[in-house]
Amino acid sequence: MVDILHRVGMKDASPDEVYAALTTIDGLSRWWTVETTGTPEVGGTVSFGFGTDGFDMLVREQVPGKRVLWEVVEGPPEWIGTTVRWDLAQADGYTIVLFGHEGWREPVDFMAHCSTKWATFLMSLKQLVETGAGSPAPDDVRISDWH
Amino acid sequence: MVDILHRVGMKDASPDEVYAALTTIDGLSRWWTVETTGTPEVGGTVSFGFGTDGFDMLVREQVPGKRVLWEVVEGPPEWIGTTVRWDLAQADGYTIVLFGHEGWREPVDFMAHCSTKWATFLMSLKQLVETGAGSPAPDDVRISDWH
């Protein structure tokens, strides 16, 4: 099993603000993809669309201001069964996001692509929380031929 | 052992252009840090400074247009002995960079930070090659309280 890990800090933002961006359709659609639908509650499923592609996440844990855990139930074969974890902490005027997309079976090139792509979406989340405007798909940062 | 992996594509750039940005002091200083000195040849050492911090890389492999491999010989304790790998390939009008910072002993928060930070520097490398201007330190993208 191999994991993608990231750490980003949101300046002058509270954990509750970041948590809201991870647990509401409005928040999620402002930094990841405008095509976000579903029920962001424990036991519910949230669907994230990217044109003809997309992912469905089963919400496994939500602890206000602290933690969100999703399990991928639909999407590319490499993603099925992996988990996406968001742990929030506070440090020096920042809310820290410790992110993990964990449980990949192999360190394939697609995982390397997703690692870079997650970093750009985490920067989009940071910009949303700090400035009020993120860069969700379809206006996300293009990083390669794989988009 | 745990690894940081990334994949970025440089549009309308040749592998030789990307290779030059990884194997010359001038190139390296235009996307990673302006404080770059040393001898970017196999067996040589290149020093990358970031104010009071920095890394020394022993160049272990350089295959023109194909591959660069460094070993970290000075820097933060977590980095010593790890390797940084750059594999170049071509696809659909892009030069693809497959990047690995490999051999971390533990998946510590500092590794998560470095994973995100590498992504922003890879985007700086992409911008340098595609537009002629990167964002090297000290004008690099700030991602958190850890810079």
Give the pLDDT score at A31. Answer: 98
Residue at A104 is within a domain: yes
Residue of B nearest to A141 (CA): B123
Question: Distance from first CA to last CA of chain B, Å, rounded?
Answer: 25
B4/A115 Cβ within 8 A: yes
Q: Do A115 and B9 touch (CB under 8 A)?
A: no
Residue B33 lies in a domain: yes
Tell me: the pLDDT tens digits for B83-134? 999 999 999 899 999 999 999 999 999 999 999 999 999 999 999 999 999 9
Quick: pLDDT tens for B22-79.
999 999 999 999 999 999 999 999 999 999 999 999 999 999 999 999 999 999 999 9
**Is A141 part of any domain?**
no
Query: Is beta strand A35-38 parallel, antiparallel or unpaired with respect to B94-104?
Result: unpaired
CB contact under 8 Å between B146 and A99, yes or no, is no
What are the residues facing A45 on neighbouring strands?
Answer: A58
In a domain, residue B37? The reply is yes
Q: Is B98 inside any structural domain?
A: yes
In the predicted model, what is the mean pLDDT of residues A141-145? 95
Helix A15-23 to helix A109-131 angle, to the nearest 10 degrees? 120
Q: Tell me whether the omega of the peptide bond preceding residue A136 falls within 30 degrees of 0, making it cis.
A: no
The dihedral formed by the CA atoms of B64, B67, B73 and B75, expressed in degrees to the nearest 10: 110
Domain range for B35 is: 2-131
Each residue of A67-98: pLDDT tens digit? 999 999 999 999 999 999 999 999 989 999 99
Say if residues B113 and B146 touch (Cβ distance below 8 Å).
Answer: yes
Q: Is the pLDDT of residue A12 over 90?
A: yes
Q: Is the Cβ pair A146, B7 closer than 8 Å? A: yes
Burial level of A41, CB count in 10 A (0-12/13-18/19+)? Answer: exposed
Q: If you measure CA to CA, which chain A residue comes closest to B94? A: A145
What's A38's domain CATH number?
3.30.530.20
Answer for the pair A117, A143: CB distance below 8 angstroms, yes or no.
Answer: yes
Query: Residue B142: inside a domain, yes or no?
Result: no
C-alpha count within 13 angstroms, C-beta hemisphere, residue A1: 10
What is the structure's pLDDT at A72?
98
What is the structure's pLDDT at B92? 87
pLDDT of A86 reads 98
- Three state DSSP letters for B102-138: EEECCCCHHHHHHHHHHHHHHHHHHHHHHHCCCCCEC
Q: Which residue of B has its CA nearest to A127?
A: B143
Q: Output the CA–CA distances (angstroms, integers) from residue B27 to A41, B18, B30, in the order listed.
A: 48, 9, 5
**CA–CA dist A10, B116 (Å, integer):** 14
Q: Which residues of B touch A109 (CB under 8 A)?
A: 7, 98
Q: Say yes or no for a CB contact (<8 Å) between B143 and A120.
A: no
User: Structural domain tally of chain B?
Assistant: 1
Of A2, A3, A6, nearest to B116 by CB-CB distance is A6
Question: Residue A138 domain-assigned?
Answer: no
A123 found inside a domain: yes
User: Mean of the pLDDT values across residues A17-33?
Assistant: 98
Q: From residue A132, how far is each of A75, A83, A95, A119, B23 by CA, in Å?
A: 29, 28, 16, 19, 40
Please state, in angstroms and as integers, the Cα–Cα distance from residue A50 to each residue in A68, A138, A139, A140, A147, following that order: 22, 7, 11, 10, 11
Q: Are strands B35-38 and A45-50 parallel, antiparallel or unpaired?
A: unpaired
